[in-house]
């Protein structure tokens, strides 16, 4: 067990950069999120079992979750599940990381710093990009848990999990079961310490060592509160605009946008069109945890971006229809049907569902049609799930 919590966390910048790079490469090499080819092909039974559980990442977290009201999650059932598994969460100290922005990076930094110091570290984060195995890392490698280890773990715990599901009248969720499995793995692997990231809870005021933290199933030896209130908002759009100005000060710009339905859509759009003005905006829908019930419809996003352009006095052309396939629609350099709010070349606004790699090709061809002569930039934004879709398509 860990003799003491590491005090010296200030390490060289090269360590942090190197760790971040290794994490990115590992995630990109992790395979698809469901049972398919590669290493994940060993997890068919596990994926089929988990798919039958209630998945709030896919359907949306109930209002009031995480509060002390009747709408809050029943932490009692999580404790009962863990008790049936032998209370694995009591076998190691844990660091809790809570908030909205920067949780995953903070977890990666802390985990890699402690690994470099020789500790056996377990790390649990969510969501994942390409495979659910990315949510759990254990040991010195820092990479996703192997499919073989996860398969064997599930086989060992399946009977106890099934008994818990039956005793809880089917109320146990996908997140609760997978979280319990991560704690069981950390216990079996005798980790010195676990770094545990918790998902954002809407309208919950996270405070260090408050009632909500004391009521978590895992008792933290240390907590970290990350920056809140900036995810998919006007402020995050402003930050993205500043990045675009830095990396692409001139040349045509295309935005590919897909968002969940609970974000600040209009403020996000107005901020992005008020910065480096995009030549092309393509709205789409990305799968969130395997479903689209939480995705903002592309047609609704299109209306919002048209309103944002109008509020900023930007001319736009939106009559390009819904894009299907790889061929870009034929657009004249100055469409006669554009909304003439200025003398600038109209911004093209269209939608395509569902997201596919074809949309990136369409954006590229639409940028080429602008005939500006400069190298263009295609920016995919709106949610982590969009980034996951892009990486998944590019790997193919």
CATH number of the domain within which 137 lies: 3.40.1190.10
**Number of domains making up the chain:** 2
Choose the final residue of a domain: 225, 249, 284. Answer: 225
Q: Does 176 lie in the same domain as 97?
A: yes
Residue-wise pLDDT tens digits, 325-338: 545 454 444 443 44
Residue-wise pLDDT tens digits, 274-296: 888 898 898 888 776 666 777 88
Residue 105 has pLDDT above 50, yes or no: yes
- pTM assigned to the model: 0.57
Q: Using an 8 Å Cβ cutoff, are 257 and 284 in contact?
A: yes
Q: Using an 8 Å Cβ cutoff, are 115 and 215 in contact?
A: no
Residue 304 has pLDDT above 50, yes or no: yes
Q: Which domain holds residue 39?
A: 13-225
| Residue 1 resides in a domain | no
Average predicted confidence (pLDDT) for the chain: 74
Q: Does 149 lie in the same domain as 181?
A: yes
Q: State percent of the chain over pLDDT 90.
A: 27
354: cis peptide before it, omega within 30°? yes
Span 151-170, average pLDDT: 94
| Residue 8 resides in a domain | no
Pairing outcome for strands 377-381 and 253-257: parallel
Quick one: which of 259, 42, 216 has its CA closest to 133?
A: 42
The whole-number pLDDT of residue 25 equals 30
| Residue 4 resides in a domain | no
| Residue 39 resides in a domain | yes
Q: For the chain, how many residues are written?
A: 396
Q: Using an 8 Å Cβ cutoff, are 119 and 193 in contact?
A: yes
Q: Does 109 lie in the same domain as 221?
A: yes
| Residue 65 resides in a domain | yes
Q: What's the token pair of residue 307?
A: 């309103």
Residue-wise pLDDT tens digits, 171-218: 899 999 999 999 999 999 999 999 998 754 444 444 333 444 444 555
Q: What's the token pair of residue 24?
A: 């990115």
Residue 81 has pLDDT above 90, yes or no: yes
Q: Does 115 lie in the same domain as 94?
A: yes
For the ranges 42-51, 117-126, 307-316, 359-368, the lowest mean pLDDT is seen at: 359-368
User: Higher-confidence residue: 69 or 157?
Assistant: 157
User: Higher-confidence residue: 13 or 392?
Assistant: 392
The band of 340, judged by pLDDT with boundaries at 50, 70 and 90, is: very low
Q: Does 357 lie in the same domain as 290?
A: yes
Q: Does 174 lie in the same domain as 53?
A: yes
Tell me, letter by letter, the H, E, C secondary structure of the chain.
CCCCCCCCCCCCHHHHHHHHHHHHHHHHCCCCCCCCCHHHHHHHHHHHHHHCCECHHHHCCCCCCCCCCCCCCCHHHHHHHHHHCCCHHHHCCEEEEECCCCHHHHHHHHHHHHHHCCCCEEEECCCCCCCHHHHEEEECCCCCCCHHHHHHHHHHHHHHHHHHHHHCCCCCEHHHHHHHHHHHHHHHCCCCEEEEECCCCCCCCCCCCCHHHHCCCCCEEEEEECCCCCCCCHHHHHHHHHHHHHHCCCCCEEEEECCECCCCHHHHHHHHHHCCCCCEEEEECCCECCECCCECCHHHHHHHHHHHHHHCCCCEECCCCECCCCCCCCCCCCCCCCECCCCCCCEEEEEECCCCHHHHHHHHHHHHCCCCCCCCEEEEECCHHHHHHHHHHHHC
The whole-number pLDDT of residue 208 equals 36
Q: Using an 8 Å Cβ cutoff, are 266 and 304 in contact?
A: yes
Beta carbons within 8 Å of 120's beta carbon, 6+ residues apart:
138, 139, 140, 189, 190, 191, 192
Task: State the residue for tokens 């570290």.
Answer: 121
């Amino acid at each position: 067990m860990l003799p003491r919590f590491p005090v010296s966390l200030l390490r060289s910048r090269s360590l942090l950069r190197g760790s971040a790079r290794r994490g990115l490469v590992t995630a990109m090499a992790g395979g698809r999120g469901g049972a398919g080819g590669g290493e994940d092909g060993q997890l068919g039974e596990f994926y089929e079992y988990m798919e039958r559980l209630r998945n709030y990442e896919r359907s949306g977290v109930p209002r009031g979750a995480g509060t002390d009201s009747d709408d809050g999650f029943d932490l009692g059932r999580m404790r009962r599940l863990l008790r049936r598994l032998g209370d694995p969460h009591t076998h190691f100290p844990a660091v809790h990381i809570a908030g909205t922005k920067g949780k995953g990076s903070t977890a990666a930094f802390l985990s890699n710093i402690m690994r470099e110091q020789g500790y056996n570290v377990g790390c649990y984060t969510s969501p994942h990009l390409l495979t659910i195995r990315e949510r759990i890392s254990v040991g010195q490698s820092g990479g996703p848990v192997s499919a073989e280890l996860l398969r064997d773990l599930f086989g060992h715990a399946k009977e106890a999990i099934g008994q818990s599901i039956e005793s809880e009248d089917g109320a146990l969720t996908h997140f609760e079961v997978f979280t319990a499995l991560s704690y069981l793995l950390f216990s079996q692997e005798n980790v010195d310490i676990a770094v545990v990231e918790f998902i954002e809870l809407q309208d919950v005021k996270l405070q260090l060592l408050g009632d909500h933290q004391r009521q978590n199933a895992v008792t933290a030896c240390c907590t970290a509160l990350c920056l809140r209130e900036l995810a998919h908002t006007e402020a995050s759009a402003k930050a993205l605009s500043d990045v675009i100005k830095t990396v692409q000060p001139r040349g045509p710009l295309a935005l590919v946008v897909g968002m969940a339905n609970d974000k600040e859509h209009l403020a996000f759009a107005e901020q992005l069109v008020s910065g480096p003005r995009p030549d092309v905006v393509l709205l789409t829908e990305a799968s969130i945890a395997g479903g689209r019930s939480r995705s903002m419809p592309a047609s609704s996003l299109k209306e919002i971006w048209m309103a944002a352009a109008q509020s900023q006095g930007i001319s736009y052309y939106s009559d390009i229809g819904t894009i299907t396939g790889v061929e870009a629609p034929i657009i004249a350099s100055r469409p006669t049907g554009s909304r003439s709010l200025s003398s600038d070349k109209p911004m093209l606004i269209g939608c395509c569902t569902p997201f596919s790699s074809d949309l990136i090709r369409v954006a590229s061809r639409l940028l080429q049609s602008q005939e500006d002569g400069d190298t263009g930039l295609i920016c995919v934004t709106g949610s982590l799930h969009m980034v996951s879709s892009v990486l998944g398509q590019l790997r193919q």
